Structure 1
Amino acid sequence: MLSRCCYLLLTLLLSQTVFAANPPAQRVIALAPHLTEQVYALGAGDKLVAAVEYSDYPEAAKALPRLGNAQYINLEAILAFEPDLVLIWPQGVQLNLAEQLASFGIATYLSEAKDLYALPDNLRALSQALGVSAQGDELAGELEQRFAALKRQATSRKSISVFYQLSDQPLMSISASSWINEGLKLCALENILSDAKAAYPLVDVETVVAADPQLILLAGPDAGWNQWPQMRAVQDGALLELEVDRLHRLTPRTLDGIEQLCEMTDAYR
């Protein structure tokens, strides 16, 4: 079974609309935790009839029947729920699922966003598919205002160099190609691996030690950084644990996570 940590790593490739149902859907299945959360954020949680593993926010989502995970999706179970809209994360086992469901006359919405700032428009599009456009416009407008406020605040913050530890085994981070990096920039945090070619590069400890970041942000277990007391982050006790459900799922709570990150890191400026 795929671990929670690995599932969160996989769900870093999120959210762009391809097709929406018309008329508004009434029986909806969400095949990624971020999509489940977005539906609830739009006030349409009562339309959901099933979801996948790790769809655990808000509390009501935990009661939804499970149809699989990032490694396996039960197509027969999807059909048994007779949905009129299925929200798909088109990666891995879900890559060709939209085509399969179309052959049964089931509408789909595809979500594969790679841009943090696309979130408001993604929510507007999803709200149209769900028949709650007014709620989508209102929520998207609120998020756009919060993005603007974060950008203004970032200009007044002193920059800090950071290493974002995405996982410890293997040691993995993020680059400028990852939408998470945009969140760091909103907090005036300079990623030491922003120039890496891969969106989620593997890195060796020696590279991090040589870069000597002022902060180490832990999205998973500590990789044993106290073994390197010469690092500024270790000397200053600047190893901060992150709430990854907020930062790794592209939902309205992502803004909460970024705002919290900015506040946490202000103490080290």
Structure 2
Amino acid sequence: MKYCLLLTSLVLTIASGVAEAAERLLTIGGSVTEVVYALGRGDEIVATDITSYYPEQTNKLPKIGYMRTLSAEGLLSMSPTLIIADAGAGPVNVLDQIRSAGVKVIQLKEGHTPAQVATNIRFIGQQLNAANTEKVAAQYEAAWQAAEAKIAALKTNPRVLFVLDHTGKSPQAAGNETAADALIKLANATNVMSGLFNGYKPLTAESIVAASPDVIITTSEAIQASGGIDTFLNKPGLALTPAGKAKRVVSYDSLYLLGFTPRLPNAVSDLATAIRKQ
């Protein structure tokens, strides 16, 4: 009888320890959320932001708003014990308030490179004590090496323009130091706005026509918000370019295209192939 009571007590103690070890995890940024799921720890997530919509099961989780306009009240209402945020999450003062409330907040470093994705996998895996971290990171790195070799064999170098316009009313072109510019370079293509400016700038008909892109890249959200490709191409100058005249437009969802997630090898490979088929 004493043995049974001792065994029961031991089991309860172990179970209590496991329960205490499990985090109430809040992920901010679609790329962060994807990594957590890739590590097999998605069941620890209690809430995400609205940029987190892959894999499909993330859409069943509570949303705490947009990653760049967070509120302390919204975050704390989910009673998190750990928050892992993308580099662009903020405002900074809100994240500082959360830290002051005693919640551990970890933020990724900025970077749009294949190597940074591997770093993010290892960093997040370390925070979650995920035993399969190195395996997942190595699989990603092998996939990128295969994609890189495939892309290197492509002979043409398309001149492309990336247009960002999630509302359908404020189109902007991607210049240097953007995720879009990094993606274009990884696809062995030329950004027609490279060297002209940094970040995103509003489209002007004159600059777009002068740039004369062979292909236009955008997001599926931009096409949907515009009401279709034909309406999308009515934006300033686009219809007058070689790409616009031939309706050479390539689009993917923004997280897949710009998120620099573990799916990056597939995203870059798909893009590199698509812009050469047009």
Structure 1 residue 88, shift from structure 2 partner: 2.5
Q: In the alignment, which residue of structure 1 is the partner of 2:256?
A: 246
TM score, norm. by length of structure 1: 0.79
* Cross-structure match for 2:57: 60
Matched pairs, number? 245
Residue aligning to 1:224? 234
The verdict on how the C-alpha distance between 1:97 and 1:235 changes in structure 2, with shifts beyond 3 A counting, is closer
Match of 2:30 among 25, 29, 33: 33
Task: Give me the whole-angstrom Cα distance separating, in 2, the residues matched to 1:231 and 1:105.
Answer: 54
1:46-85 correspondence to structure 2 within 5 Å:
46-70=43-67, 72-85=69-82
- Percent identity, aligned pairs only, is 22
Among 131, 146, 150, the alignment partner of 2:147 is: 150
Contact 1:25 1:129 in 2 (8 A): no
SS at match of 1:173: strand
What CA deviation, in whole Å up to 9, does each residue of 1:77-129 have, x standing for no partner? Answer: 53344322112346574312332222232211113423222111011000110
SS state of the match for residue 200, structure 2?
Answer: coil
Seen in structure 2, the aligned counterparts of structure 1 residues 226 and 93 have a Cα distance that, compared at 3 Å, is closer
* SS state at 2:177 partner: coil
5+ unaligned residues in a row in structure 1: which ranges? 1-22
Deviation readout 1:139-193 (Å, 9 max, x if unpaired): 2222222332333333322101011111253221212311332221222211100
Q: Which residue pairs with 2:12 in the alignment? A: none
Equivalent in the alignment of 1:213? 213
Distance 1:83 1:227 in 2: 48
Structure 1 position 250, deviation (Å): 2.6
Structure number with greater CO (CA < 8 Å, separation at least 6) is 1
Structure showing greater Rg: 2
Q: What SS does the aligned partner of 1:50 have?
A: strand
Q: Distance in 2 between matches of 1:62 and 1:208?
A: 37
State the partner residue of 2:198: 198
Report the 3-state secondary structure (helix = DSSP H, G, I; strand = E; otherwise coil) of the residue aligned with 1:193.
coil
* Letter of the 1:121 counterpart: T
Aligned to 2:176: 176
Is the Cα contact below 8 Å between 1:90 and 1:96 reproduced in 2? no
Query: C-alpha displacement at 1:216, in angstroms?
Result: 1.2
Separation (CA, whole Å) in 2 of partners of 1:226 and 1:103:
47
Unmatched segments (≥5 aa) in structure 2 = 1-19, 224-231
The structure with more helix, counted as a fraction of residues: 2
Q: Which residue of 2 aligns with 1:45?
A: 42
Tell me, what secondary structure is at the counterpart of 1:82? coil
1:87 alignment counterpart? 84
Match of 1:8 in 2: none
Do the aligned partners of 2:68 and 2:89 also contact (CA within 8 Å) in 1? yes
Given the superposition, is the C-alpha separation of residues 235 and 100 from structure 1 closer, same or farther in structure 2, using an over 3 Å criterion?
A: closer
> What residue in structure 1 maps to residue 229 of structure 2?
none
Instruction: Give secondary structure in 1 for the equivalent of 2:110.
Output: coil
Cα distance, 1:228–1:178 mapped onto 2, change above 3 Å: closer
**Contact 1:52 1:66 survives alignment (8 Å):** yes
Contact 1:29 1:48 in 2 (8 A): yes
Contact 1:24 1:131 in 2 (8 A): no
1:129-144 alignment, distance < 5 Å: 129-132=127-130, 134-144=131-141
Equivalent AA in structure 1 for residue 45 of structure 2: L
**Alignment partner of 1:126 is 2:124:** yes
Contact 2:151–2:269, Cα closer than 8 Å, also in 1: no
The separation in 2 between residues aligned to 1:113 and 1:242, in whole angstroms, is 22
In structure 1, what is the Cα distance between the partners aligned to 2:21 and 2:179?
A: 30
- For the aligned residue pairs, the C-alpha RMSD in angstroms reads 2.7
What is the SS of the residue equivalent to 2:66? coil
Per the normalisation by structure 2, the TM-score is 0.77
Which residue identity does 2:180 align to in structure 1? I
User: Aligned letter for 1:159?
Assistant: N
Would the alpha carbon gap of residues 234 and 94 (structure 1) be closer, same or farther in structure 2, given more than 3 Å must change? closer
Q: Which moved more, 1:184-193 or 1:224-233?
A: 224-233
Structure 1: 4+ residue segments shifted above 4 A: 90-93, 225-230
CA deviations on 1:10-37 (whole Å, 9 max, x unpaired) are xxxxxxxxxxxxx976211112333222
